Amino acid sequence: MKMVSRSCLYLGGIIMFSFVATAISGPLDPNFYDKVCPQALPAIKTVVLEALRQERRMGASLLRLHFHDCFVNGCDGSILLDSTSSFTSEKFSLANNNSARGFEVVDRIKWEVDRVCGRPVVSCADVLAVAARDSVFALGGPYWKVELGRRDSTTASITTADADIPAPFMNLPQLIDNFKKQGLDVKDLVVLSGGHTLGFSQCRAFRTRIYNDTNIDSTFARQLQAICPRVGGDSNLAPLDPTPAHFDTKYFSDLTLRKGLLPSDQALFNGGETDSLVKEYSSDLDDFGEDFTKSMIKMGNIKPLTGNRGQIRSNCRRAN
């Protein structure tokens, strides 16, 4: 199979059109902003690329924000909301607290896209989806057409975040059930876990694996123990694969060598039904890239707010 071409370009324009957001309804559409604000997607790309020039790790962080957003009541930008008197922010959930990052970059994207569009017409949820794609593409991954037209929620749920964002300690049956709850299948689980080809994880998430697990390469474990002591150093970082700022297949090939960083990573190659997919992707970047685009589009379609539901936030951190 062939990976989606990296020669795809963004199309922009200079004509602005009036727009009544609540008049739009129906399924998501890659061309949603073509007439509303053709400058929107190039503006998002510009800010993402500048953020990656400053810190390549930010690409993984922006990808993760989209993932963690979609797994909590759908792709509605809820992860970006700060706490109010009515709810506690999802930023304080077990999966996100002192870990999720990139919120300031999202703020910069939102400011810039609203500036070029003349007013808020692009949702924060769509900003997350496009920024995730632009990050992956900039770091050597595939390009895909992001389906657009999501609207933003006005509330968040830390309870749902704690319950539904997959934990790094889950075994394979737990991971399969977790993804199934979101309408994602076993192939989606393996492919989207491959997003760990980018980024880092904190010591607190892999400590139990490097000191207690048996399905781990002993040399690899000792190397990580130098980074992550038994006590303390919870926020010390280790790369999720050997090339954490480049989209490749090393995440999967490491799993076949028992060098998965998180317990939930190694669970994908531990004698279970996902072993064959891990082997396939470990040696075929084109297959991985093509399937990654399909699963990202599928994940981006989890319970989006469209039509008159939700709003287009002026500030991604709070409801209008």
Residues catalogued as catalytic: 68
CA dist 90 and 78 (Å) reads 7
> Coil, helix or strand for 261?
coil
CA dist 119 and 153 (Å) reads 19
CA dist 295 and 277 (Å) reads 14
Half-sphere exposure of 34 (CA within 13 A, CB side): 9
Rounded to an integer, what is the distance from CA 46 to the centroid of its chain? Answer: 19
CA dist 242 and 250 (Å) reads 7
The one-letter code for the residue type at 158 is I
Q: Which of 227, 70, 96, 214 is nearest to 153 (CA)?
A: 70
How far, in Å, are 59, 104, 128, 233 from residue 91 at the CA level? 18, 13, 15, 21
